[in-house]
Chain A
Amino acid sequence: MNDILKIADQNLESRLFIGTGKFPSKKIIKDVLETSGASVVTVALRRVDQDSEDENILDYIPKSCLLMPNTSGARNAEEAIRIARLSKAVGCGNWIKIEIISDNKYLLPDNFETIKATEILSKEGFVVLPYMSPDLMAAKRLVDAGAKAVMPLGAPIGSNRGLKTKELVRIMVNEINIPVIVDAGIGSPTQAAECMELGCDAVLVNTAVAIAEDPVSMARAFKLAVQAGRLGYLSGLGSTGSEASASSPLTGFLREEEKV
């Protein structure tokens, strides 16, 4: 299947993105990434220890993965911008996932601050992928601000509840012309497949893999599910529009009449 996801100037083979928090060891992260075939991996810059020789998480990331540091821990645009700049300065490239959480109870992203940070960082040449609450107007503003993809949540981080925001994400998929990547809340391969069938461009998974009994085989399960969902979408899944569509059109006779 020649189906490449293009973000900024990068062609990505896989539509599965992996997050690296919560894993029991760095070694497992490496195995997970290799097995999942993920093209993009996100790492919290706050956990990257550049000074350490043997404890640098970046050493566990396969060369085939594109590194997307995130601004986890940022509470407002200003902090996110500082983290992003720091990330570039320490050689982590110019991709950045903006993650601004000013609510520690539900861990929901702050769309307003995210738009601010996206605008400034895009101008500075970053490839910005913002994590957001699925809201069409906010997504449009993010596009205007220079985002290269938008990452709406399916459900709160770590909740494993699946695509609870389905209707809102569906609207975003229909209306937004940059890739839509579901981030957060995806707890099972079925749910990942559901996102892909809906027409999302990719999914980002972390907790579901990290806390699985066997994270490596769970990574494989997600890889296959994302492929299956995507294939289902491309093969033209029957739409589930709210209007009924009869298999023999009710007005078919009009065309019959035309022929006469």
Chain B
Amino acid sequence: MSFYDVYKQYKDFDIQNFFGNVESQMIQKALNVPNVSEYQFLSFLSSRAEPFLEQMATRSSQLTRQYFGKTIQLYTPMYVSNYCENECVYCGFNRKNKIQRKKLSFDEVKKEAEFISQTGLKHILLLTGSSRAQSPVGYVKECVKILQKYFSSVSLEVYTLTTDEYKELIDAGVDGLTVYQEVYDEVVYSQVHQAGPKSDYLFRLDAPERALSQRMRTVNIGVLLGLSQWQKEVFLLGLHAQYLQDKFFDSEISISLPRLRPAKGMFQPACVVEDKSIVQMILALRIFLPRLGITLSTRESAQFRENLLSLGITRMSAGSTTEVGGHTAIVDENKKNVQFEISDTRSVLQMIKFLEQKGYQPVLKDWMAI
């Protein structure tokens, strides 16, 4: 069995028709049961649920405090390569684009790790870009070995791997994996992933499961909001998280909800996702899966992050840069970068301060390779 079997049950499900039949009493009732069903979760995503946002927020916030307390785990991403073999129409790094490609040497990886570790962060997310040729498993493994000297937990966001490859990397000390399906709708998936290995929908869909079958400790999945109607996508994301939680009882599953932002000359999102909708989906997901980790990327504004803090978020990135070697541009010659990087570094501290001010404990270390 694969999550694909669950997907098939719902792929032709008429969500608009379902939403048309949602009534206020159903939502009210769903707010008062201990375990929310799949359809009750879906009803929380309907426009009929909008007047109940405050009540949903109360429940969500209470559940989050109960299961996670007033703590937020912090981590930072580290890009070591931006070579890519794919053509995702929504991404500036797609192989057809002429951008400067770069891959860090092991010395540079070390320098970058040293630099980030000075901020006190103990969780790192290693991103290698989607090119097997440029960053083969051996290269990733070598990077992991270096990072382990500086961080207590190393997660990966790389091209999807085989079961044996995940095992190899887990044995090397990797304990977390991030893999976004981007879009669950299979038709849209094939439209936006035009070439390269990523166009294999099933191989990507089953990647979290392959990793978990090898006892990956934490897996973070996600959808890129904007590629398709968000209600159905978030519904499927919730079902996927539930499926993984149930099947891999002792692993930690978390989700991310990055938004595709409209940009000039770029791919236009199929649907614009407003702040209010992000709030609604976070609340619905929390009530549906109280133990679910919910990651909020730094691409959201400080103010929005602040408002979302108590509603269900459990993990945030800090001091992010999406540039290869972006953290240590400071130690290199370029003066202009120095200033930029200092403000970036400060943002880890600022994030810590911000959380403390809001009455939250920033957790810099929440796991260690054992």
Contact = CB atoms under 8 A, between A and B. Distances in A.
Interface of A: 21-26, 45-49, 52, 55, 73, 75, 79, 82-83, 86, 101-105, 107, 158-160, 207, 210-211
Contacts of A102: 249-250
A159 B66 contact: yes
Contact of A25 (B67, B152, B361): B361
Contacts of B71: 21-24
Contacts of B249: 102-105
Given A101-B250, A104-B252, A211-B65, A82 B70 contact: no
A47 B365 contact: yes
Query: Which of B66, B360, B363, B367 has the largest number of chain A CB atoms within 10 A?
Result: B66
Given A158-B66, A160-B66, A211-B69, A103 B250 contact: yes
Contact of A46 (B65, B70, B367): B367
Given A25-B359, A104-B252, A104-B291, A211 B70 contact: yes
Interface in B351-370: 356, 359-361, 363-368, 370
B291 A210 contact: no
Interface residues of B, number: 29
Contact of B366 (A47, A158, A207): A47
Contact of B361 (A26, A49, A101, A105): A26
A25 B356 contact: yes
A46 B67 contact: no
Contacts of B363: 47
Contact of A82 (B251, B359, B364, B370): B370
21 contacts: A22-B65, A22-B69, A24-B70, A24-B71, A25-B359, A25-B361, A45-B368, A46-B368, A47-B366, A49-B120, A49-B152, A49-B364, A52-B364, A73-B367, A86-B368, A104-B245, A104-B291, A105-B246, A158-B66, A210-B69, A211-B70
Chain A interface helix/strand/loop/mixed:
loop
Q: Return the 8 tightest CB-CB contacts between A and B, nearest first.
A: A22-B69, A24-B70, A102-B250, A75-B250, A49-B365, A82-B370, A24-B359, A211-B65
A43 B21 CA distance: 49
Contacts of B120: 49, 52, 55
Nearest to B292: A104
A249 to B, nearest CB: 47
A75 B175 CA distance: 13
Nearest to A54: B120
